[in-house]
Amino acid sequence: MAEHKKPVIIYGGSFDPPHRGHIELAAAALRQLRPAAFYFVPGFLTPFKEYSPAPYSGRLAMLRAALAAAGLGDRAEVKISPFEAGRRRVVYSWETVEHFRRLHPGAPLYFLMGSDCLAAFGSWRRPDFILANARLLVGLRPGHAPGRGGYPFTRLSGRFPEADSTAIREQLFLGRRPARLQPAVNYLIAKKGFYLGRERALLKRLLTPARYDHSLHTAALAAALAPAAGVQPQKAALAALLHDCARDLAPAALRRLCLPAARRDAALRETLREAPVLAHAWAGAALAAEKFGVTDPEVLEAVKFHATGAPGMGTLARLVYLCDMANQGRAFREAGLVRRLAFIDFEAAFRAANYVKLVYAFAGGGWVHPLSVQLWNSLQEKKSG
Ligand SMILES: [Fe+2]
Ligand SMILES: [Fe+2]
């Protein structure tokens, strides 16, 4: 029957979130190949502690919203397959091809991708198996011309703009509405509180508008520096967003939050005696755990030491310490210098941040926190050792 000869298209990806780049590619493939079936196959994504991407159910809802907005929601041939996500492990593309080959014996099978993915195709598992069972269907993305002599593929006509999911998520962590997402998808993300939306909503109620802005500025820099510092961007954004979460609390509430930790933490007791305002960092860590449900010790450490610093603080804590002082919202000159340096040499910028903060502290003529001085000394030892 002629029906059997109609093509079947598979389109895998994380769809975290689904953006216009995905939808435009799919729409072109539907238009040009008129397939019997077009399967979106959202992948299973490794939950990275609590920094898993949007959950499968959420990615499914966003994909449905994106398809509906593009007028593809009611097309019978357009389906979303749980094949990969439902297996609870990383699924290789050859397995997906094998699955749909079995499901549609005899049908021309196409594996859809942007040309940005084509260069890596040779390093996938079992590329020969994929090519024996399916034909690559490639949409050209600017700056990713398919090289000559590579794997055979069918080219979709048209050009398909680049859409970088990492950059899109970075915008979402800050509460922006990326233009690369359809309004319906942006709406759903805001409504469901995906991509730290839940945390931002809670935070907004705790902080003055100026402090909330400062937290967003800190998170923007933290997310931008995260990949170079070797930190997961969502984790960096979360720690930076929450670093001052206790800063606007009344002194009594701040003390209450500090009490449990103060029993076993001499540095905190000293802080409460000598410079109680700095205790907002310890109180923030307690509040991040209590109100925001943060359990990651690295995030809690970053909040706790953002104001004073401490010798031996971890990478995330160093990142938040630096971003708190050097973010775009800071007007003093050194902030811009440290910020620019951070994109070139993160550790040098961290030492510079400690230096600048100490200079300001000494210039103020008051008590200087011993942890800040200890941090300074530990960095000098490292340099000479
Ligand atoms: Fe602070
Ligand atoms: Fe701050």
Q: Which two tokens stand for residue 53?
A: 């991407």
Q: For the chain, give every domain's residue range.
A: 2-186, 196-384
Query: Is the confidence at residue 141, as pLDDT, over 90?
Result: no
**What homologous superfamily is domain 196-384 in, according to CATH?**
Hypothetical protein af1432 (1.10.3210.10)
CA angle at 165 for the pair 159 and 171, rounded to the nearest 5°: 120
244 Cα–ligand 1 center, Å: 5
Q: Is the pTM of the predicted complex or chain greater than 0.75? A: yes
Q: Is the dihedral of CA 201, 203, 206, 211 positive or negative?
A: negative
| pLDDT > 90: percent of the chain | 82
Spatial separation of the C-alpha atoms in residues 275 and 279, rounded to whole Å: 7
Ligand nearest to the Cα of 217, by number? 2
320 Cα–ligand 1 center, Å: 10
Owner of token pair 């993160």: 346
Q: What is the mean pLDDT of the chain?
A: 93
Bridge partner list, 38: 9, 78
pLDDT of residue 2: 45
Query: Is the confidence at residue 65, as pLDDT, over 80?
Result: yes
Owner of token pair 């930190």: 231
Spatial separation of the C-alpha atoms in residues 60 and 57, rounded to whole Å: 5
* Fold for the domain defined by 2-186: Rossmann fold (3.40.50)
pLDDT in tens, 234-290: 999 999 999 999 999 999 999 999 999 999 999 999 999 999 999 999 999 999 999
Spatial separation of the C-alpha atoms in residues 155 and 66, rounded to whole Å: 24
307 Cα–ligand 2 center, Å: 7
304 Cα–ligand 1 center, Å: 9
133 Cα–ligand 2 center, Å: 55
Under the banding of pLDDT at 50, 70 and 90, the label for residue 90 is confident
Under the banding of pLDDT at 50, 70 and 90, the label for residue 148 is low
188 Cα–ligand 1 center, Å: 32
Ligand nearest to the Cα of 278, by number? 1
214 Cα–ligand 2 center, Å: 7
244 Cα–ligand 2 center, Å: 5
354 Cα–ligand 1 center, Å: 14
Q: Are 50 and 288 in contact (CB under 8 A)?
A: no
